[in-house]
Chain A
Amino acid sequence: MTEGSDARTRKLAERIAEIKPNPAVALGRSAWPFLAAIVIAFLLQVVIAPMLGGFYAKTLLDIGIAIVLASSLNIVNGFAGQFSIGHAGFMMVGGYAAACVTYYGSIKLLMPQGELTEAIGVSVLGGFLGSGDLLFLASCIVGGVFAAAAGIVVGLPSLRLRGDYLAIVTLGFGEIVRVLVQQTSDVIEPVKAVDAGVGEMVTHLGGPLGFTGTPTYVSPTPWATNASGDQTGHAGIFFAYSIVGILLVLVYRLKMSSQGRALLAVRENEVAAEAMGVDTASSKVSAFVLAAFFAGVGGALFAHSLGVTLNPNELGFQKSIDLVIMVVLGGMGSITGVVFAAAFLTVLPELFREAAQFITHLVGYHGQVNTDAYRMPVYALLLILVMILRPQGLFGIKELWDLGFWRRYVIPVWRKAAGGWLIPKHEARLPAAIARELSTERTGGEPAKSDDSPKPGASGDQP
């Protein structure tokens, strides 16, 4: 046997030991996307949002939150291929946990010290990244953690149930959370809340009226001030889009990793995945837990946004379906697809209204047209048509950069510019080219011409 064929059959561990990536370069490569995300979020807040003005800045904020929620659902519905239609339940768990932290938390922590008085109540505290903002960010994490715990609870049934049945259980979960929250009593007033115990706080989440009094840390225009000069806005877009950026990086890295491949394998053929050594049970539960965590964070963002009062009735089946539609239209398993779909579906109601307005004006009818009632029927019709005509949604399981025109025109330019610096070599999107490159490296110069000329049916090797 030749040297070449020996090298091809060596074990993985030996090969791993040979490759020693430069730690400094690795650190740089690892960190730059997160930093870029924060910088972009900052620019969006400081430069773009003021240009857009109050209304469209709010839309931008809504898009960010939708992307977070839809992408989280993409992990379990898209990557793992499990059918979860109660995702709003995780959002609720996260949102309410976060609201507890900011509302009750700020009362408990700050009222005794005098930083908070009855007069201010529980309003937005401090300036940018002041005590209030830090409390808010902490609440996001707390929300995520609680939602992740719920994710374990929902993930376990997925081990025994498939398809339709799992869908029903997730639906049931969403409904159970909704019913439980609806039973809670009204939110405790600040003065009394100082002395409230944990048990009391948890059972006073506002019930059917919603969690009134949640401070608004996520508003689109931070430097708005009211008549008395108090700051009434907060850096919502910065927070939301930092989280969006970090989430997208993490989700992308998940998809490229072995764990992500394992999830996709479970989606494609669970029996085969199990036979190839993938622990399908822990993969599925992990998918639920991760998805739930991010949904919880999204819920925390949502709970604190301008004009929102967390309300169990609004976060039921309807909201879950909204998210499912975003994932299905974008392409289950496609990160870029879901981002586009989330953005599109968030602005669609507004586009609708404008379009209807425009058309009716053309026809001579001057007045207000209420298109809200038509939003859902159109969505529903869209969903049906997509399922019949293009079930893979926008991109299917692929990404924007997997499409034909992108591969032919954009990628060569990008790879020349970024080379192996910004993107790890193994993220091969053009495997044949990478294969040639790698074999060039190994044999030092001459690209190894495959002695197994690839003809279908021809022998692949010599004994």
Chain B
Amino acid sequence: MNDFLQTLVNAIALGSLYALTALGYTLVYGVLRFINFAHSDVFTLGAWVSFTIAGWIGWAGTGSPIFAMPVILFLAMAICAALGIAIETFAYRPLRRAPRLNVLITAIGVSLLLQNVGQLKWAFGTQPQRMAELVEDRSLFTIYDVHIRLVDVVVVILAALLVVALERLVYGTRIGRAMRAVSFDERVASLMGIDVNRVISITFGIGSALAAAGGLLFALKYGSIKQTADATWVLLGLKAFVAAVVGGIGNVRGAVAGALLISFVEVFGAAYLSPHMKDLYVFVILIGVLLFKPSGLFGKAVTEKV
């Protein structure tokens, strides 16, 4: 029972992280109909940027004040949002009318650029680092002999708050309505007076901010962060992307559902089947979903007009 509970907690925490990143993928796809390969690298950079800021301000190591976490969270999200907007403006906007394949390749290029520049000597380097302990490493409470760590609780609660905030934004505000309008029909939205470019920039900004939050939470939960081009980041990002697709890309609730599904498969698979093959389980799910219900669990099929 202990194992099960611990595994459950891990799955929920990891699922929350995936959800934050998956939302970024899904928002951008909803608005631009394209899969931003570079998104997962924003997640990575979120972790590194947080680490770096914590170092500059002097909160590295233990004993940081209680407001350290929110401050760094805010700063990381802001910086990454700016980065996301910059990427959209310089790399994707020129290709707004280009064939899909070209944008896809450009996204791969941006992803490679971020990864490899991130680990240059004058950037973040190639050495793995230990994340600052912005959240005390202690157990919050105990059920059935299983220690529920504070960190995990913070991760889940914070992620949930951000998701709820996003939901309110997309469904309850003017800018959210604008985003949804653009995702339905870009041309008509612009005819209705919506500044499509601004909406797209904002969407990228929000998506990147969420990814950055995910990155920071990841670093807090797992402690060590590896160099930016390391395979582990790529895999993480890939799995978040799988989560978005499985849930139905373009669908906000689907992204969260997909993220939880993927993390459960991965964590429980690693615990009860083989830990070495956990990446495999996720990809098998991806291929299964794509073959049998390509629009994902919650998505709608799109047909081509002949």
A–B contact via C-beta, under 8 angstroms: yes
Give A391's nearest chain B residue, CB to CB: B102
Q: Does B273 contact A (CB under 8 A)?
A: no
State how many angstroms separate the Cβ of B86 from the closest Cβ of chain A: 13
Known A321-B112, A384-B91, A387-B109: A164·B104 in contact at CB below 8 Å:
yes
Q: What is the 8 Å Cβ interface bit string for chain B, positions 72-112, against chain A (1 contact, 0 not)?
A: 00000000000000000001001100111111111011111
Residue tally, chain A, CB below 8 Å to B: 39
State how many angstroms separate the Cβ of B167 from the closest Cβ of chain A: 25
Residue tally, chain B, CB below 8 Å to A: 46
Contact A161 B94 (CB under 8 A): no
Q: What is the 8 Å Cβ interface bit string for chain B, positions 111-132, against chain A (1 contact, 0 not)?
A: 1110111011100000000000
Choice from B102, B104, B119, B286 contacting A373 with Cβ under 8 Å: B119
Q: What is the 8 Å Cβ interface bit string for chain A, positions 215-246, against chain B (1 contact, 0 not)?
A: 00000000000000000000000000000000
Contact A373 B121 (CB under 8 A): yes
Known A383-B105, A383-B106: A169·B287 in contact at CB below 8 Å:
yes
Report the Cα distance A316→B98, complex, angstroms: 29
State how many angstroms separate the Cβ of B67 from the closest Cβ of chain A: 36
Number of cross-chain contacts by CB at 8 Å: 109
Contact B108 A176 (CB under 8 A): no
Q: What is the 8 Å Cβ interface bit string for chain B, positions 10-50, against chain A (1 contact, 0 not)?
A: 00000000000000000000000011000000000000000
Contact A324 B231 (CB under 8 A): no
Stretch with Cβ within 8 A of A (4 or more), from B57-65, B178-186, B258-266, B276-284: B276-284
Stretch with Cβ within 8 A of B (4 or more), from A44-52, A292-300, A374-382, A451-459: A374-382
Contact B105 A168 (CB under 8 A): no
Contact B290 A379 (CB under 8 A): no
Contact B229 A167 (CB under 8 A): no
Stretch with Cβ within 8 A of B (4 or more), from A62-70, A124-132, A179-187: A179-187
Contact B100 A328 (CB under 8 A): no
Q: Inside 8 A of A313's CB, which chain B residues have their CB?
A: 231
Q: Does A211 contact B (CB under 8 A)?
A: no
Contact A380 B113 (CB under 8 A): yes
Q: What is the 8 Å Cβ interface bit string for chain B, positions 266-295, against chain A (1 contact, 0 not)?
A: 000000000011011001101100110010
Contact A179 B279 (CB under 8 A): yes
Report the Cα distance A377→B101, complex, angstroms: 21
Q: Does B159 contact A (CB under 8 A)?
A: no
Q: What is the 8 Å Cβ interface bit string for chain A, positions 317-361, against chain B (1 contact, 0 not)?
A: 100010010001000000000000000000000000000000000
Report the Cα distance A455→B104, complex, angstroms: 42
State how many angstroms separate the Cβ of A268 from the closest Cβ of chain B: 11
Sample of 12 more A-B contacts, CB < 8 Å, known A161-B290, A380-B112, A387-B105: A83-B101, A85-B108, A157-B291, A163-B100, A182-B276, A183-B277, A373-B116, A383-B105, A383-B109, A383-B112, A384-B109, A387-B95
List the 9 closest pairs (A to B, CB-CB), nearest first: A383-B109, A380-B112, A380-B113, A376-B116, A384-B109, A172-B283, A387-B106, A377-B116, A164-B35
Q: 9 A-B pairs, CB-CB below 8 angstroms?
A: A85-B108, A157-B287, A164-B35, A168-B242, A168-B245, A180-B280, A379-B112, A383-B112, A384-B106
